[in-house]
Amino acid sequence: KLLGSQSIPTPSNPHVMKTTILPDSKRKKILITGGAGFVGSHLTDKLMMEGHEVIVLDNFFTGQKKNIEHWMHHPHFSLIVHDVTEPIMLEVDEIFHLACPASPPHYQYNPVKTIKTSTMGTINMLGLAKRVKAKILLTSTSEIYGDPKVHPQPESYWGNVNTIGPRSCYDEGKRVAETMMYSYKNQNGIDVRVARIFNTFGPRMHPNDGRVVSNFIIQALQDKPLTIYGDGSQTRSFQYVSDLVNGLHALMDGSYDLPVNLGNPDEYTVKDFAEYIKDITGSDSEISFLPATKDDPTQRKPDISTAKRELNWEPKVTVKEGLEKTIAYFSRVLDESGEIIPT
C-alpha cells in the first residue's frame, strides 16, 4: 500500500519517493547517525520507503541538508542536529552508526575531532543501545586493514596500520570502535553488527570531499586535468552506493554478528580508473601526476565470501552502470553551481 508521493523532487533527488504503510507492530524506530551524509541519506531513503520511522542525527560537518530535505515534512522523519561526541537520550529499536567524516581530506582536517567522533561517538551510541536494548550497526572501513599485505582482504586479516601517520586518526579510530562494539557485546550482551565498507561511490557524494571518484568525474566533466596522486599503480575496488545500502540492511536484519566486508571486488589501478572516467565521459582532460600522499594503501580489494555466505549478498550494479548514474548526478550539480574546484 502506498502513501502517495513525498514532497517535490529536487535536483539531488529527481525521483519522487513513495513510502509503504506498515502496521504499528512492524514499524521500527531507527536512528541513523551521519544520516545527512552520502551513504546515510541513501540508507534513510530505503528505510523511509519501507515505512519505518527514521531519526537522522547529524552535525552537518560533511553532511548536507539537501540530501534529506525531501523527507523533512514526512510524519515518520525527524532530524536532530547534534554532535555524536555528546550523549543523547532517545528511544529507538535500531541504530545505524555512520557518523564520521570518511574522505581523507575531511577526516584529516581535524584529526583530534575524527578520533573523538569514532571513540566518544561510538561509546555514546553503545551506551544508548545498552540503555534501550537497541541493535547497533557500526560502519567500519577497509582502512582498518591499512596498507594490506594480504590481497584480497578477508575479515580474518588483522591489517597493517601506521599508528601515528596522517590516516591513523581514521583507521585507528575505527579499529577501536570495532573493539568497543565487541567489548559491549561480550560484557553487556549488546546485539552488534560491524560492516567493513570498501570504497563506495554514487550520487550525493560531496563534490568537494576529495575522493577519487568525485574528483575524477568533476575534473573530466570540466575538461580539467585528472589529478593522480603518485604513479597511479595503487589499486582500489569500487562499489555503487545502492549495493552498499542493501548490504547494510541485510547485515542489520540477519543474525551474523562478526565483521563483514561490503564492497565490490572489481579492482582498478588508479591510472586505469582515470583513463576509464575519461572514456566514459568523453573528456579531453589531460592526466597530471601529483606527489603521492603519505601512507596511501598500495592495494585494496575485498574478499566478500562472508557476505555471500552469511547474508546472501553480493554487488549487483556494475562499476560502469554506477559511474553513468554518478556522472549524470555531477552534471546536474555542475549545471546548478557552475565551476567546482575539487579538493
Which amino acid would we find at residue 284? Answer: D
Contact flag: residue 248 with ligand NAD (CB under 6 A): no
Using alpha carbons, list the distances in angstroms from residue 216 to 197, 230, 282. Answer: 21, 15, 13
User: One of 109, 145, 157, 170 is an active-site residue; which one?
Assistant: 170
Give 34 or 322: the residue with its C-beta nearer to ligand NAD.
Answer: 34
**Would you mind telling me the total number of residues written for the chain in this entry?**
343
Among ligand NAD, ligand UDP, none, residue 98 binds (CB under 5-8 Å by kind): ligand NAD
**Which partner, ligand NAD, ligand UDP, none, binds residue 40 by CB below 5 to 8 Å per kind?**
ligand NAD
Non-local (6+) Cβ contacts of 202 within 8 A are 38, 42, 240, 241, 242, 322, 325, 326, 329
Q: Work out whether 215 is an interface residue with ligand UDP (CB under 6 A).
A: yes
Residues 210-239, interacting with ligand NAD (CB under 6 A): none
Residue with cell 601517520: 165
* DSSP secondary structure code for residue 225 in this structure: P
Q: Where are the beta strands (DSSP E) in the chain?
A: 2-5, 18-20, 29-33, 53-58, 77-81, 94-97, 135-141, 192-197, 200-201, 226-229, 235-237, 239-240, 260-262, 267-269, 287-290
List the one residue from 12, 19, 85, 103 that touches ligand UDP (CB under 6 A): 103
61 binds ligand NAD (CB under 6 A): yes
Among 47, 248, 262, 270, binds ligand UDP (CB under 6 A): 270
Closer residue to ligand UDP, CB minimum distance, 37 or 51:
37
C-alpha cell of residue 298:
598500495
From residue 103 to residue 122, the character string flagging contacts with ligand NAD as x (rule: CB under 6 A) and all else as - is ---x----------x---x-
199 counts as binding ligand UDP under rule CB under 6 A: yes
Annotate 112-179 with DSSP letters as a single string: HHHHHHHHHHHHHHHHHHHHHT-EEEEEEEGGGGBS-SSSSBPTT---B--TTSTTHHHHHHHHHHHH
Count of residues interacting with ligand UDP (CB under 6 A): 14
Beta strand pairing call for 226-229 and 200-201: unpaired
- The answer to whether residue 296 forms part of the interface with ligand UDP (CB under 6 A) is yes
Answer yes or no whether residue 79 interacts with ligand NAD by CB under 6 A.
Answer: no
Build a one-symbol-per-residue string for 171-210: x at contacts with ligand NAD by CB under 6 A, - elsewhere.
--------------------------x-xx-----x----
Residue with cell 506498515: 22
The catalytic residues are 170
Task: Report the interface residues with ligand NAD, using CB under 6 A.
Answer: 33-34, 36-40, 58-63, 83-85, 98-102, 106, 117, 121, 139, 141, 197, 199-200, 206
